Structure 1
Amino acid sequence: MRPLFTARDFAVTQASIAALLFLSIPLFNVMGFSNHKLAAILHGLGATVTVIMSCQTLHLIYPMLRGKAGAPARLEWMLWLTNLMVLLTIVFGNWLYIAYRAPDGPQEWLLYHSPALHLIVMEYKEFVSLYPLPLGIAAAVLLRRFRHALEPGSAASGIIALLITLFWICLLIGFVFGIGLAKLRMV
């Protein structure tokens, strides 16, 4: 007798609920007071979608490391899509950064109320948030170059996995610090 729910059903349901909740985070900006709602919403949605896609990219490493047929091609495709989302999120973040640096903007408020927090949260966040693009591109280029010759346990697959893991960690740091910064002082 076939079970009522399979493990795949539970996994798809869990992923769908998590994606819906993640995507609702930036939409709370619609209810706030800001002259830069569109930039904030686009940057927030971009960051959220990018983090979700990077998690999927990270999960696609494991079949590649085990030598599963077709895994490098799937990983490369997802990695290029995620790199594109990283680029768009950086563009929208730079658009939002103009408002952040404006007179009487969040930067002045943070510098006045907590200069150390500004240095730690904002400057560190912006620095780390730029790393995923070169890390992701480097991993995608290496994967393109070596995908037909990848063997389980090879140095190339290990380096690609390390680059993608660092890519994912930097995205998470930027995402968490970005949410924290938005909570400190909304633009």
Structure 2
Amino acid sequence: MKPFISAKDLAITQAAAAAFLFICVPLINVFGTSMHKTEGMLHGLGSCAAVLLSCQCIHGIYGLLRGKAMAAAKLELLLWLTAIINFMAIALGNWLYIGYRLPDEAQQWLLYNIPSAHSVLMEYKEFVSLFPLALSVCAAVLTRRVRRSGLAAEEAAGMNTVIAVLVTLMWITLLIAFVLGIGLAKLKMV
């Protein structure tokens, strides 16, 4: 007898539910006390979408490394989408930075209570947040060049490895920036 629900259907349902709940995280800003609720919510949604897309890029790497037919085109599209959404999240994050530096906001609290945390949470986060944009653009451009060059599979393998390293670094730096951003948002809510 055939099972009522297949393992693939269950996995897709679980992934969809996890992605939906993950995207709902920034909606908590609506209930916060900050003056910058809209900006925070939009920045959070952009950051969540960028992290989700970067996870898809990681999965797209496997197809590229295996030499599947349309893997490079799909990965290139995902990389460009990740770059665009990441750029929008960075722009909104800069908008939020104005509120961060206001008197009696998170920067003042951090500098008064834990001055070293300001250096880690904000200064390091500022720089690490910019890397995913550059890495995704570089990986997308290399993917396009390899795809259009018509190289044989053996010749393209080296470039595909470089693309895989760039995408992995993009994913890691995006996760670091995301986790530090959640920590900073949590401090602002206290």
TM range (shorter): over 0.9
Unaligned stretches of 5+ in structure 2?
Answer: none
Match of 1:168 in 2: 171
Distance 1:150 1:140, change over 3 A: farther
Indicate the residue corresponding to 1:10 in structure 2. 10
CA contact (8 A) 1:132 1:171 kept: yes
State the alpha-carbon separation in 1 of the partners of residues 188 and 32 from structure 2: 11
Report if the CA contact (8 A) 1:50-1:86 is conserved: yes
Q: What pairs up with 1:83-102 in 2 under 5 angstroms?
A: 83-102=83-102
Say if 2:150 is the partner of 1:179. no
Instruction: Say what the alpha-carbon RMSD is for the aligned residues.
Output: 1.5
Q: Distance in 1 between matches of 2:152 and 2:79?
A: 17
Give the TM-score normalised by the residue count of structure 2.
0.93
Aligned residues: 187
- Structure 1 residues 150 and 61: alpha-carbon distance in aligned structure 2, compared to 1, 3 A threshold: farther
CA distance in 2, matches of 1:12, 1:164: 23
> How many angstroms apart in 1 are the aligned matches of 2:8 and 2:87?
32
Q: Is the 8 A contact 1:128 1:174 kept in 2?
A: yes
TM alignment of 1:71-86, pairs within 5 A: 71-86=71-86
Q: Percent same amino acid at aligned positions?
A: 55
Question: 1:183 and 1:61 mapped to 2: Cα distance?
Answer: 33
Aligned to 1:155: 158
Unpaired segments of 5 or more residues in structure 1?
A: none
1:114 aligns with 2:117: no
Q: CA deviation at 1:150?
A: 6.3
- 1:181 maps to a residue whose letter is L
Question: Structure 1 or 2: larger helix share?
Answer: 2
Query: Within 5 A, what are the aligned runs for 1:122-137?
Result: 122-137=122-137
C-alpha contact (below 8 Å) 2:139/2:163 kept by paired residues: yes
What letter is aligned with 2:39? A
Amino acid at match of 1:182: A
1:39-87: CA deviation from partner (whole Å, max 9, x where unpaired): 0000011101110111011100001000111110111111111111101
Q: Deviations over 1:1-48 (max 9, x none)?
A: 543222320221111111111011110111111111000000011101
Residue 177 of structure 1 deviates from its aligned partner by 0.7
Residue in 2 aligned with 1:55? 55
Q: TM-score, normalised by structure 1?
A: 0.95
Q: CA deviation at 1:122?
A: 1.2
Cα 1:150–1:167, aligned 2, differ >3 Å: closer, same or farther?
Answer: farther
Q: Give the whole-Å Cα distance in 2 for the aligned partners of 1:107 and 1:149.
A: 51
